[in-house]
Amino acid sequence: MEQKAVASATVRPQETITLNNSMKIPVVGLGTYKSDKKQVQHAISDAIDAGYRHFDCAWLYGNEDEVGQALHSKIDGGLVQREDLFITSKLWNNFHEKSKVIPMLEESLGSLGLHYVDLYLINWPFGFKENAPLCPTNHPEKSYSNVDYLETWEGMENCVKQGLAKSIGVSNFNPQQITRLLDHCKIKPVVNQVEVTPNLNQKDLIKFCKEHEIVVTGYAPLGRSAHHGTSGGPTPTMLDPKVIQIGEKYKKSAAQVVLNYLVIICYRLFVSQSAIVGFFGDLCGPKVCAQVAHLRKYQHFRLYFGARGRRLLGFAQQEPESCYHERVFLAPTLQFLIVNQVRPYC
Pairing relationship of beta strands 338-339 and 298-305 according to DSSP bridges? unpaired
CA distances in angstroms from 201 to 61, 194, 197, 279, 301, listed in the order given: 25, 10, 5, 20, 16
> What are the φ and ψ backbone dihedral angles of 335, each rounded to 5 degrees?
-90, 95
Residues marked as catalytic: 61
> What are the φ and ψ backbone dihedral angles of 128, each rounded to 5 degrees?
-110, 160
Length of the chain measured in residues: 346
Burial of 131 (0-12, 13-18, 19+ CB in 10 A): exposed
CA distances in angstroms from 304 to 78, 172, 329, listed in the order given: 47, 11, 10
**Cα(261)–Cα(345) distance, integer angstroms:** 9
Closest alpha carbon to 314 in 296, 302, 328? 302
